[in-house]
Amino acid sequence: MNREDRRIREYFSRLQESPQRDASQAGLRRTIERSKDAYCDAQAQESLSAAEFLYRQGGYIRKRWWLAQGLVLLGLWFLLGSADGGDTPRRMLGAGGPLFAVLALPELWKSRNANVLEIESVSYFSLRQIYAARLVLFGVVDLTLLSVFAACTVASGRGVLTQIVLQFLLPCVVTCCICFTALYHAPFLSEAAALSACLVWSVIWLQAVSCDEIYRAVSEPLWYGALALASAYLAFCIYRGQEGCGRLWEKAKQEGTGGCLWNS
């Protein structure tokens, strides 16, 4: 080691032992805290509008699942055109409804699978705001897809609105009920378990609509009543999950499940 190296090393050694070092570290900590406060104040003054917040959240959603849902509806539209009547349209629509809803499962469970729920829970926006925005986005896109599908199907004469509502929308809404029940109220229910429950429901529904005796034994008002009941329960699941967001997260942390909201 030459003389210059020794002098440099001795200088830094004296600097570390100097009482000024503690003072500089304390000043650095104060600077960091003030920077954090200034950043939070700036963010509070420049808060995003609702439209901007929705737009930014939409960027985090993988669009391939919406594309897959659109392809399911497009495939149903073509298949209905080649259906020979009888219970074939009922089978097609009955199988398409649950599949349309199930395609949202990977996106709903994304945060849990990627182990980022703890990061989201300490973000600037609350978990309730983040997932409420995602729910709104899913609802808007899915409603648009279903509206286009229904309009094209009725306009082309490949089906009537009653068929679409009862034989497609009803099993779709019930599948959503299963998914959101698992998502909000069952921390230990995995994505595979939720998918299995949806598959069981699909088999039960297809068996029911394929049997004319069973299908015709239930009057049309009862079918509409079942749809209204399922829709009300779905709304209740979403409302309860949003209201209990913090409690569900804290409970999941205590039980070591890594978070339950959106289990994604």
C-alpha to C-alpha distance for 168 and 176, rounded to whole angstroms: 13
Query: Shortest CA distance to 66 belongs to which of 109, 7, 107, 11?
Result: 107
Tens digit of pLDDT for each residue in 152-165? 988 888 878 888 88
Mean pLDDT of 118-135: 66
Degrees to nearest 5, angle at CA 183 with 165 and 106: 75
Point out the least confidently predicted range of 45-59, 147-161, 163-177: 45-59
Write down the pTM of the prediction. 0.69
Domain map of the chain by residue range?
1-47, 49-263
Query: Shortest CA distance to 44 belongs to which of 156, 159, 122, 125?
Result: 125
218, containing H or E segment:
none
Tokens of 150: 């229904």
C-alpha to C-alpha distance for 105 and 94, rounded to whole angstroms: 19
* Residue 87 predicted with pLDDT over 80: no
Tens digit of pLDDT for each residue in 232-257? 999 988 887 777 665 555 555 554 44
Q: Percent of the chain, pLDDT > 70?
A: 67
**How far, CA to CA in Å, does 156 sit from each of 86, 119, 142, 149, 160?**
19, 48, 21, 11, 10
> What are residue 85's phi and psi, to 5 degrees?
85, -160
* Residue 259 predicted with pLDDT over 50: no
